[in-house]
């Protein structure tokens, strides 16, 4: 399954996943330094979908706040 995700790095709310329409908003505490925020996004989405982090992949937007995510079920 593919999703469009908006990431809010360095958020005090995180880790939190909010659903707004067709898109997801992911709040993570990690800052966008050396891929730490991307790792936080993968862990938060894995917890949200109830799957292992290895089954969640960022397929586009590695350095952007809007990312394309693929979740294997």
Domain ranges for the chain: 2-71
CATH placement of domain 2-71: 3.30.1200.10
- Smallest CA-to-CA distance from 5 within 29, 25, 34 is with 25
Name the nearest CA neighbour of 48 among 14, 21, 11, 12: 14
pTM over 0.75: yes
Tens of pLDDT, residues 5-46: 999 999 999 899 999 888 899 999 999 999 999 999 999 999
């Amino acid at each position: 399954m593919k999703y469009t995700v908006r990431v809010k790095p360095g958020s005090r709310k995180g880790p939190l996943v909010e659903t707004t329409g067709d898109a997801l908003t992911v709040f993570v505490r990690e800052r966008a330094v050396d891929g730490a925020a991307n790792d936080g996004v993968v862990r938060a989405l894995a917890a949200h979908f109830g799957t292992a982090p290895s089954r969640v992949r960022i397929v586009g937007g590695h350095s952007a706040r809007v990312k394309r995510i693929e979740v294997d079920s």
